[in-house]
Structures are given as C-alpha cells and as structure tokens.
C-alpha cells in the first residue's frame, strides 16, 4: 500500500512515498533557501514560481528513489491547506493531474495534521506506537497549535485546545533573529548560539492574556527584544552580522560567534529560554486538562535542542507523567512523508477527495 505524498504549502517543494503509513521509502525536499534567504523571509510570488520549477523533478525523484513506478501506487495525497495560496495550488494541481492520469484516488491533507503524523510515523518506523489519547503540540514557522488527539478504529479526531493569538513560535525565532542581524531562517542559528549565553541573564515577563489560558502569544516577547536592542545600542554589531549574511550563504556557528558579543549571546539564550518555557508550560497544562497518555511535539521548532532537552527531561516526572515524542529533524520540518502518512487512515476508510478539491490557505483542523 504505497501513497505518494506531495507538499508545497510554503517554501519547500517536497514529495515522498510511504508504505502503509509506517515506512518511508523516499522523501525528497527541495529547499528554496537560496531564493528567499536574501529577503529575510518567504516571498509568496517567488515561492510559487520555485514550486513550479521544482515539482516535476522532485516527484520524479521521490518515485525513483522509492524503487517504485506509478503502477505500484495506491493513492496520491497532497497538502490542500493551510499555507500560501499560490504555493498550495501548484501541489494540488499537480496531484490532481497525477490522480487523473493514473486513475489514483486523491486525498487532500491538512498540513497541520501532517505535522502531527510525523510523530506517529517516526514511532511506527521504529516499530513502536504512540499511546492515545495524546496531546499534540505543533510549533512551526506558520503555526503554534495544541490538540487533544484521539484514535478510534484507526481514525483520528482532533480537538483544538489552544493556539497562538499572534506570531507562531518559529516566526518569533525568525523575527528576533532578523532584528539581531542574523540570516533567515533564524531558528537554527539561535539554537546554535543560545548554548553560548546565559539563559537567565535577561528576564522577560510572561504574556498577559485574557481568555483561554492555553493560548500562546509571542509578539510581546519580540517587542521586548526590540526594546532591549534599541536601549543597548547594538546597531554596529547588527550591521556586522548583516554584512556576514550578505557575503556568506550559510555562515557557520564560529563565524556568527565572531561577530556576536557575550551580552547578545545572553539575550539570545534568554529569548530562547522564554519561548521554550512558554511552550512547555502551556503544553503540560493542556495535558493536565484532558486524559492523555503521551505528548507529541512536531513542526520545525521541534528541532530546537533546548526544547527537546527540557521536554525529555520532564517526561515521566510528576510534571509530565507520560512519554514525550519528537520526530527526527528531517520529519519535523516541512516534508511530504508526513502528508502521505496522514493520508493513510483516510485511505483505509475510503475517505477520498475528488477533482473539486480546492486549496484553503486558512484551513483549520
Ligand atoms: O515546520 P517548518 O519547516 O515550516 C512551517 O510549517 O512553518 O518550520 C520552520 C520553522 C522556522 O520558523 C524555523 O526558524 C524553525 O521552524 N526552526 C527552529 C529550529 N529549526 C527550525 N526553531 C528553533 N530551533 C530550531 N533548531
Ligand atoms: Zn509546516
């Protein structure tokens, strides 16, 4: 039972072939880093153009690397939202064409459900299962959502418990990195540098919000960092980092360290610590509010080493009396294997889309 997955919701063109929702036969991801890096963020018009360029070779490579042909595929799954409209359209149109040409069932998948399934897939690949009901935290550049996930007769049900009111967690990493002069995407750079600073050096106050106590807010933290940067007069060092980013495609940790004084490393470490603690605080609180036998963390921010260390340190303790699961970094950031995996239960239940499938940039789960 092979499903071809296609993912083009943001700035990665991805295709994968996954067997029965549990074995990745191929997973190809073409990054548009080179296109967007110099703009400090994803430029939607350029993203769709790059998807158009990449989609044919990426899908072809995924099928070849899987050692399969179209004849062996059982279905084609594609991300239909949320994401950038123009980017989503490329994947959905291509998937429809494959479905029509090869008479394969089409399955439209929610990108956020894909992220949740990256953890289920990771476990299954290792011959293990996720214990349900589970609490899923999805933290990426576009989303910060928490769901209570129930599994019954092989089908999944999601109850949204909390979400960000403003910036996503990854977006906060990227914006803070950008205002400090680091290159896009900033999350991995902050992760690398934070271990060189003191996370207790700068105190940021937690967000004060009315309403759902399980919601997140990261924009106030970003503004607090900006205020700190202005007060500390960091223009000259920021300009040095921007110059490094312009002259070098992917500066190394050592190169960044050479243009980042200790006080800034402390600021970075404190910022990361605040985001990590905020994610942990609300996720464990959400888990307390429901019957939960495991906690799954996914999305690009799940690559963060401090977040992993803290969550894994807590797992099984009184504060988090359940196992905590992360996908491997390749499955945590955007990829198509998670889309093919999320489509598997739908395939088994015969819940297919048809050619009227539309993209929905703000699709909810
Ligand atoms: O899941 P993803 O690839 O794309 C979206 O669906 O948004 O997530 C990308 C986000 C970016 O904001 C990136 O900065 C962040 O994940 N990210 C990280 C790390 N690696 C990627 N944030 C913190 N620490 C990391 N190691
Ligand atoms: Zn994503």
Question: For residue 97, what are its two tokens?
Answer: 């064409």
pLDDT along the chain (365 residues), means of 10: 96 96 97 77 86 96 95 97 96 98 97 98 97 98 96 96 96 96 94 98 87 93 95 95 92 97 98 97 97 98 98 96 97 98 97 96 95
Phi and psi angles of residue 31, each rounded to the nearest 5 degrees, phi first: -85, 145
Q: What is the DSSP string of 215-244?
A: -B--HHHHHHHHHHHHHHT-HHHHHHHHHH
CA–centroid distance, 199 to ligand 2, in Å, is: 27
Peptide bond preceding 82: is omega within 30 degrees of 0, i.e. cis? Answer: yes
Pocket test for ligand 1, best of 168, 187, 335, 338 (most atoms within 8 A of CB): 187
CA–centroid distance, 34 to ligand 2, in Å, is: 19
Question: For residue 137, what are its two tokens?
Answer: 């935290």
Judge if the beta carbon of residue 188 lies within 6 A of ligand 1: yes
**pLDDT tens sequence across 297-340:** 999 999 999 999 999 999 999 999 999 999 999 999 999 999 99
List every span in the chain annotated with CATH 3.30.420.40. Answer: 2-117+330-349, 169-322
Q: Out of 3.40.50.720, 1.10.10.60, 3.10.28.10, 3.30.420.40, which CATH number does the structure's domain 2-117+330-349 have?
A: 3.30.420.40
Question: For residue 77, what are its two tokens?
Answer: 């799954």
Judge if the beta carbon of residue 334 lies within 6 A of ligand 1: yes
What is the number of alpha carbons within 13 Å of residue 68 lying toward its C-beta?
20
Point out the ligand 1 atom lying closest to the alpha carbon of residue 171.
Answer: 12
Q: Whose CA is nearest to atom 13 of ligand 1?
A: 187
CA–centroid distance, 334 to ligand 2, in Å, is: 5
Judge if the beta carbon of residue 244 lies within 6 A of ligand 1: no
Closest ligand to C-alpha of residue 170 is: 1
β-pairing, 2-7 with 12-19? antiparallel
**pLDDT tens sequence across 197-226:** 999 999 998 888 888 899 999 999 999 999
Distance, in Å, from the CA atom of 354 to the CA atom of 365, rounded to the nearest integer, reads 19
Closest ligand to C-alpha of residue 193 is: 1
Q: Are 157 and 218 spatial neighbours (Cβ–Cβ below 8 Å)?
A: no
Q: Which helix (H) or strand (E) holds 27?
A: strand 23-31
Q: Whose CA is nearest to atom 7 of ligand 1?
A: 141
Judge if the beta carbon of residue 142 lies within 6 A of ligand 1: yes
Q: In this predicted structure, what is the pLDDT of residue 283?
A: 98
CA–centroid distance, 296 to ligand 2, in Å, is: 15
Point out the ligand 1 atom lying closest to the alpha carbon of residue 332.
Answer: 1
Q: In this predicted structure, what is the pLDDT of residue 253?
A: 97
Q: In this predicted structure, what is the pLDDT of residue 277?
A: 96
Q: Out of 3.20.20.70, 3.30.420.40, 3.40.50.80, 3.40.50.150, which CATH number does the structure's domain 169-322 have?
A: 3.30.420.40
Question: For residue 57, what are its two tokens?
Answer: 């070779």
CA–centroid distance, 67 to ligand 1, in Å, is: 30
pTM for this predicted structure:
0.95
Q: Are 173 and 186 spatial neighbours (Cβ–Cβ below 8 Å)?
A: yes
């Amino acid at each position: 039972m092979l499903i071809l997955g296609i993912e083009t919701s943001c700035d990665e063109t991805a295709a994968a072939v996954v067997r029965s929702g549990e074995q990745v036969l191929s997973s190809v991801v073409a990054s548009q880093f080179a296109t967007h890096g110099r703009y400090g963020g994803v430029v939607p018009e350029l993203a769709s153009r790059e998807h158009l360029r990449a989609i044919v070779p990426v899908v072809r490579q995924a099928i070849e690397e899987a050692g399969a042909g179209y004849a062996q595929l059982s279905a084609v799954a594609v991300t239909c939202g949320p994401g950038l409209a123009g980017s989503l359209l490329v994947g959905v149109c291509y998937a429809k064409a494959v479905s029509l040409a090869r008479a394969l069932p089409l399955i439209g998948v929610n990108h956020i459900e894909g992220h949740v399934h990256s953890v289920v897939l990771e476990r299954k690949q290792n011959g293990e299962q996720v214990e349900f009901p589970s609490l899923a935290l999805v933290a990426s550049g576009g989303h910060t959502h928490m769901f209570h996930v129930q599994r019954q007769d092989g089908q999944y049900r999601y109850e949204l418990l909390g979400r960000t009111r403003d910036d996503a967690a990854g977006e906060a990493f990227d914006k803070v990195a950008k205002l400090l002069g680091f290159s896009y995407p900033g999350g991995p750079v902050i992760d690398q540098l934070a271990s060189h600073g003191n996370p207790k050096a700068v105190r940021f106050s937690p967000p004060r919000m009315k309403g759902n106590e399980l919601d997140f807010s990261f924009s106030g933290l970003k503004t607090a960092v900006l205020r700190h940067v202005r007060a500390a007069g960091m223009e000259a060092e920021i300009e040095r980092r921007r110059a490094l980013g312009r002259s070098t495609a992917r500066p190394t940790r050592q190169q960044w360290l050479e243009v980042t004084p200790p006080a800034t490393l402390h600021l970075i470490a404190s910022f990361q610590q605040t985001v990590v603690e905020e994610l942990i605080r609300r996720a464990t609180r959400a888990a307390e509010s429901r019957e939960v036998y495991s906690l799954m963390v996914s999305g690009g921010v799940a690559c963060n080493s401090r977040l992993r260390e803290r969550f894994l340190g807590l797992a099984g303790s009184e504060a988090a009396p359940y196992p905590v699961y992360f996908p491997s970094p390749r499955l945590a950031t955007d990829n198509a294997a998670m889309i093919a995996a999320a489509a598997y239960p739908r395939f088994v239940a015969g819940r297919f889309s048809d050619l009227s499938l539309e993209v929905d940039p703000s699709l909810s789960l």
